[in-house]
């Protein structure tokens, strides 16, 4: 969770890269992340929950996770659009509030998977990091666009990202055994939503045939990478 929190400083790293280089890096990372998150959600989180839960229960919790992540994104997008319409800096800060809530949930998910199995916890942490890198870059950029100074935006991005530690502590001390397995299916639903709604649509915007093929290959590499972890390091 500490490593995940350090992603909040990614805005500082981006300052030293040219815009074109940064865009290429982000797009490649999004391609890999989409495949990794989709594979991890199904072959790691959902598969692990099905060891102790019946199929219907697992699907129910997956749907709950999918819908709640959908609702959270609607709220975040509302803040974004409202900020652009009103031109008020205060709404730029609201982005970080929403991000902090999201990161607390990530902390809960990471803790619950580690409590079940260390290998599963490591894999889940990698999935969280995979979707957090492009997301935190987007939040940082939006905050700067909204009028927040760069140094302050870096600090606030790090602060909101560090809230995952709070989620981890809450999970460790307050999650009961009965709640841990549902959290796996819940997390799977949230990750599937992120892959299907946020990441894959971005990849489909690429119109160049050659680049589309490269994008697909990177996506498949991400998918195979996570599935391979399941095959060679079974929980």
> Which pLDDT value is given to residue 56?
94
**CA 216 – CA 220 distance, rounded (Å):** 6
Asked if 19 and 27 touch (Cβ cutoff 8 Å), the reply is no
pLDDT tens profile 19-36:
666 666 667 777 887 888
Q: Kindly give, in sequence order, each residue whose CB lies less than 8 Å from that of residue 95, ignoring residues fewer than 6 positions away.
A: 76, 79, 80, 83, 139, 142, 143, 146
> Which pLDDT value is given to residue 217?
93
The pLDDT confidence band at residue 82, using thresholds 50, 70 and 90, is: very low
Asked if 110 and 174 touch (Cβ cutoff 8 Å), the reply is no
Number of domains into which the chain is organized: 1
Q: What's the average model confidence in pLDDT over 168-181?
A: 79
**CA 75 – CA 72 distance, rounded (Å):** 5
Average confidence score pLDDT of the chain: 75
> Which pLDDT value is given to residue 22?
60
Question: Helix or strand or coil: residue 222?
Answer: helix
Q: What's the average model confidence in pLDDT over 171-182?
A: 78
**What percent of the chain has pLDDT above 70?**
69
Count of beta carbons in the 10 Å neighbourhood of residue 202: 15
pLDDT tens profile 145-171:
556 777 787 788 788 788 888 888 888
Residue predicted with more confidence, 51 or 22 = 51
**CA 104 – CA 165 distance, rounded (Å):** 7
Residue in the structure block whose two tokens are 């991400």: 222
Containing structural domain, residue 178: 2-232
The pLDDT confidence band at residue 84, using thresholds 50, 70 and 90, is: very low
The pLDDT confidence band at residue 62, using thresholds 50, 70 and 90, is: very high
Helix H, strand E, coil C: the string for 164-217 is HHHHHHHHHHHCCHHHHHHHHHHHHHHHHHHHHHHHHHHHCCCCCHHHHHHHHH
Residue predicted with more confidence, 151 or 113 = 113
């Amino acid at each position: 969770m500490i490593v995940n929190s350090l992603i909040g400083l990614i805005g500082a790293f981006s300052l030293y890269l040219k815009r074109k280089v940064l865009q290429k890096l982000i797009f490649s990372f999004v391609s890999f992340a989409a495949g990794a998150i989709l594979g991890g959600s199904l072959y790691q989180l959902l598969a692990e929950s099905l060891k102790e839960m019946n199929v219907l229960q697992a699907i129910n919790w997956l749907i709950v996770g999918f819908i709640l992540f959908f609702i959270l994104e609607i709220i975040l997008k509302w803040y974004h659009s409202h900020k652009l319409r009103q031109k008020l800096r205060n709404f730029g800060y609201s982005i970080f509030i929403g991000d902090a809530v999201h990161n607390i949930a990530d902390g809960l998910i990471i803790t619950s998977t580690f409590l079940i199995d260390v290998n599963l916890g490591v894999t889940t942490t990698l999935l969280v990091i995979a979707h957090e890198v492009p997301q935190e870059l987007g939040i940082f950029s939006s905050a700067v666009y909204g009028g927040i100074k760069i140094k302050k935006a870096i600090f606030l991005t790090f602060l909101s990202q560090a809230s995952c530690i709070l989620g981890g502590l809450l999970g460790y001390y307050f999650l009961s055994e009965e709640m841990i397995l549902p959290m796996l299916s819940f997390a799977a639903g949230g990750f599937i939503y992120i892959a299907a709604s946020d990441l894959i649509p971005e990849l489909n915007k690429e119109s160049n045939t050659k680049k589309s093929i490269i994008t697909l290959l990177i996506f498949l590499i991400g998918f195979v990478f996570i599935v391979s972890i399941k095959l060679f390091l079974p929980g």
